[in-house]
Structure 1
């Protein structure tokens, strides 16, 4: 990418990238990281004279070859295209990723980079499923074949836990504290990162445990910016409008939010100067976001998929789906939220519907529904369990879970094939087939639902919803649920 040429058309880095050194290693250089942390860091480099907080982006998986090659060829540069609510496009070139590494090609190089003195923070976007957490046992999954491989081949790992352990081992030898910061959509993401890493370390390098406790911090954070998958149309439109030949730009909404627990062992960037918020306790903010925004996305995705929608905005503009979502947020999620001083929940929920309805985003239903087996336990089921504990309604959540069971059969209501991207797709399909005879069979997936199958209240609500959708279709069922809820509100 020729910056001097591109800068005549759109915003580009005004700082000298050759002087910026990586102080952060980031694992998982997909769209969200590049629309969020890299965006904040780029703005910081723009606004200040700091040169020690660039990002070294690491592609961890074999699957990440394409993004690594793209960024490598573009010297870490890419275009961020912000799709405004009025349809205009705000474009800027992001320059904060100053190094790129491909872990499968040279794992030792990545470990040494993570262990190097100039690196103060390791950040992660490895998706909900990357933390190797078993919902049923509430523990680290040692049976994962990749984990077993790492335990046997510590110097050539495949998982994030193998890499971090080897890097921390080297840092201990050199007396170098560090912060490991999750940027994934998981409640208590820092706490979970530490717990899962410590479980792995206990098996392979137990002498590290005391040192990690004293010298490594794991701040929790809440991240938010809707970032759809980049389409070929996005790439061609960018080229046609700006003459920029970018093989993998990132598209996103204008809204962005980052709330971070201020617990850093070796210094941190002043991200608060560019809009991030540092707080003592992230929990209320992340709970609000996960159970309203992320769960809202899941609701729209699953219901929209069954209806035959292809994008999230299509689902939002279906009146029965949007009414159902608002009632779910009002009647089942909101009662579980507290300690949100300064937050206008009604305004937040209204803003979410506007964000979901951005017709220029074209966020694909397939993307939102991907890896639902990792998303439901994090986004939807905490609300179910909280409502059961307070003897509140679970009827709306039960319908969403029932819709997911029917979705897992692989066909929408038009009998068209659904593209299901999920590591548990075969298992989900098997249980979904069993559920046709006995709906409660779907709830027997303990790694997802835990002990929920033992709740008579939820099983009854789920079975009622499953039978209603099977017999009457999704829209008719939504109408019935909405009418009943409005009648009793």
Structure 2
């Protein structure tokens, strides 16, 4: 019979599942994390769990919180199991389960005073975030802070008295700490964004700028926002994963996380009030994260986009199934080699070719169960971060862009709202109705898609890109996805 996860049932959970050896009373809080989703619990929380298992830095335990309505349900589920999580790391030939326990509490959504009290607590020395690429209030085309966003305007209009956004909470807490003489905490983004520390700083300081120029200047001068590169493929949890955990490991967990075995965290060593010794558990501290970040965003995240939209149009459900399709796998490989990797500067102690092969192996892992739909999600935020910057660099360098333009055209065709067999594609973007409308216009006038200046900016006016995109989209509509990819590969001699 399966054991329902809690502190009381840990002794009943059978080997080979690893269980925590430390107790909650041996920990004290040091980090407040905003956005306690699967990725956080498979990544940052696992590193901290390993550190605590070594008996190190147990004054850096986690307090969770969030700003979305779904966070309240997450809090209830985790509280019911004493804030424990089962993490199952999977390779093609193995699965390893461990129960992690670095979280002490979760302050529920709407409890603004309680959240602020935790953020102002002197023991809180780091505030970390995983609020997704779309949660930073950026203009999609310019990637600058969107000060006019209604959520930001609301927090600023209230002068940060009852903030609703993650950045409003952070800003209000920093200013309260300043007022009562407590050193500021470090703000540590763990999201997949170019220069995520710089972006977090722009969002916090940009919001405060709307209220007080002097306070915004103080934040820029006194608060650390280290950049970091994070990586671990972590799909959404469904009933399928919960059933597998029960059947294979004998554990009933409301919020298990299934992920790949691979993980990476490269982080700038820049902290306002100290940090845990994460280098003891594999975190790589460097002076400049940018080369690692660019490599990952363009090869892994850009690679995800390259396989997602053709697979979605061809009714392929899972990422590993897409990699089993010879045409899609070859498209990924050749696009990366021909158009993406030549624009990536050298990365310290890293062989780009070996990194690419690792990415392809990770995508092909059948145990992960990562869905194509997840990769297709939120293209209006992801394309400007993972695909369009490479196109801009290629145009400046006078290099080929046909494959990258094809990726954009496949995204446009996906947003039309039906697969090549006529199956409807459910809404999969915050601005899905608008994208569908533009995609339907672009079927006959391709340039209509590029007219979305908030996404493409001046790139939509570049003649080379417009021509390459138009050719690709017309070909997709006339011949289909497979022939369009075939033609591109043939142009490379593949």
For the criterion TM > 0.5, the same-fold answer is yes
Give distance in 2, aligned partners of 1:456 and 1:241. 56
Q: Which moves more between the two structures, 235-244 or 7-16?
A: 7-16
Q: Report Cα offsets for 1:334-393 as digits up to 9, x if no partner.
A: 111113132111111111111000011110111111111110011111110000000101
Alignment partners' CA distance in 2, 1:137 and 1:244: 47
1:265 aligns with 2:256: no
- 1:199 aligned to which of 194, 202, 206: 206
Residue 460, structure 1, aligned to residue 467, structure 2: yes
Q: Distance in 1 between matches of 2:374 and 2:303?
A: 14
1:211–1:143 CA distance, 2 compared to 1 (3 A): closer
One of 279, 288, 311 as aligned partner of 2:286: 279
- Give me the whole-angstrom Cα distance separating, in 2, the residues matched to 1:63 and 1:314: 30
Q: Determine the structure 1 residue equivalent to 2:119.
A: 114
Q: 2:176 aligns with which of 170, 178, 198?
A: 170
Contact 1:380/1:397, CA 8 A, preserved across alignment? yes
| Greater mean alpha carbon deviation, residues 95-104 or residues 182-191 | 95-104
Cα distance in 1 for residues equivalent to 2:378 and 2:169:
24
Structure 2: distance between partners of 1:73 and 1:203: 40
Alignment of 1:67 with 2:67, yes or no, is no
Among 232, 237, 240, the alignment partner of 2:239 is 232
CA distance in 1, matches of 2:115, 2:182: 19
Q: Which deviates more, 141-150 or 376-385?
A: 141-150
Q: CA deviation at 1:135?
A: 2.7
SS at match of 1:222: strand
- Counterparts of 2:402 and 2:271, CA distance in 1: 42
Give the Cα–Cα distance (whole angstroms) in 1 for the partners of residues 114 and 339 of structure 2.
Answer: 48
How far did 1:177 drift? 2.4
Alignment of 1:366-445 (within 5 A): 366-445=373-452
Note if contact 2:132-2:192 (Cα within 8 Å) is conserved in structure 1: yes
Q: CA contact under 8 A between 1:61 and 1:158: conserved in structure 2?
A: no
Structure 2 partner of 1:103: 109
Q: Deviations over 1:296-348 (max 9, x none)?
A: 11111111101110111111111111111111101111111113132111111
Distance 2:56 2:271 in 1: 21
Say yes or no: does 1:132 pair with 2:137. Answer: yes
Q: 1:7, CA displacement in angstroms?
A: 5.8
Q: Is the 8 A contact 1:59 1:68 kept in 2?
A: no
Which 4+ runs in 1 deviate beyond 3 A?
none
How many Å separate the matches in 2 of 1:56 and 1:7?
28
Q: Which residue of 2 aligns with 1:91?
A: 97
CA displacement at 1:266 relative to structure 2: 0.3
The structural deviation recorded for 1:155 is 2.5
Please list the CA deviations of residues 382-413 of structure 1 after superposition, one character each: whole Å capped at 9, or x if unmatched: 11000000010110010010011110011011
Aligned-partner SS, 2:17:
coil
Matches of 1:156 and 1:17 in 2, distance apart?
A: 31
Contact 1:366–1:420 (8 Å) recurs in 2: no
Whether the 8 Å CA contact 2:65–2:71 is kept in 1: the answer is no
Q: Residue 164 of structure 2 is aligned with which of 150, 158, 163? A: 158
Give distance in 2, aligned partners of 1:38 and 1:177: 22
> Partners in 1 of 2:212 and 2:28 — Cα distance?
31
Match of 1:219 in 2: 226
CA distance in 2, matches of 1:184, 1:344: 24
**Whole-Å Cα distance in 2 between the matches of residues 72 and 204 of structure 1?**
36
The number of aligned residues is 485
What secondary structure does 2:31 align onto? strand
Please give the alpha-carbon distance, in whole angstroms, between the structure 1 residues aligned to 2:167 and 2:57: 31
Shift of 1:471: 0.7
Local SS of the residue matching 2:123: coil
Q: Distance in 1 between matches of 2:240 and 2:217?
A: 51
The DSSP-based 3-state class of the residue aligned with 2:492 is: helix
Q: Does 1:58 align with 2:65?
A: yes
* Cα distance between partner residues in 2 of 1:448 and 1:57: 33
Superposition pairs for residues 296-375 of structure 1, below 5 Å? 296-375=303-382
In structure 1, runs of 5+ residues without a counterpart are none
Deviation, 1:48, is 2.5
Taking the aligned partners of 1:403 and 1:160, their CA distance within structure 2 comes to 34
**Aligned to 1:81, what secondary structure does the other structure show?**
strand
> What is the rounded CA distance, in whole Å, between the counterparts of 1:355 and 1:311 in structure 2?
13
Q: Whole-Å Cα distance in 1 between the matches of residues 479 and 276 of structure 2?
A: 55
Give yes or no for the alignment of 1:123 onto 2:112. Answer: no
The partner residue of 2:146 within 141, 147, 158 is 141
